[in-house]
Structure 1
Amino acid sequence: MVEVILAILLPPLAVFLHDGLGTSFWINIILTLLFFIPGVIHALLVVTDTI
């Protein structure tokens, strides 16, 4: 539940707490810096283990 809230507010932090410094983290950093909404969507997918 906390990771889902973090995924909405701070997407890279949520991905980092869930997966660590892996590929998903760096993809999320790029998505969040370019456009915030795709970063949130990616973080939600990672945190809920959809991808």
Structure 2
Amino acid sequence: MRQSGSRTSVVEIILAILLPPLAVFLHDGIGTSFWINIILTLLFVLPGIIHALLVVTDTI
């Protein structure tokens, strides 16, 4: 969805902290990462935030 050379915006990082599934959705759309993040956020919030930050910064 995103090109590998794109830069992460500050808004995406803030959304990843406040609303992790929304940040993942805006970055990748509805896909595997989105559903994994929904599950992680519903179980425990901190893993959802960590996963969202990893997805938004293109670490994983």
Distance 1:5 1:30 in 2: 20
Which structure carries more helix by proportion? 1
> What is the total number of aligned residue pairs between the two structures?
51
Which of 16, 25, 33 aligns to 1:7? It is 16
Give me the CA root mean square deviation: 0.2
Percent identity over the alignment is 88
TM-score calculated relative to the size of structure 1: 1.00
Is the radius of gyration larger for structure 1 or structure 2? Answer: 2
Q: Which has the higher contact order (CA 8 A, sep 6+)?
A: 1
Unaligned 5+ residue runs, structure 1? none
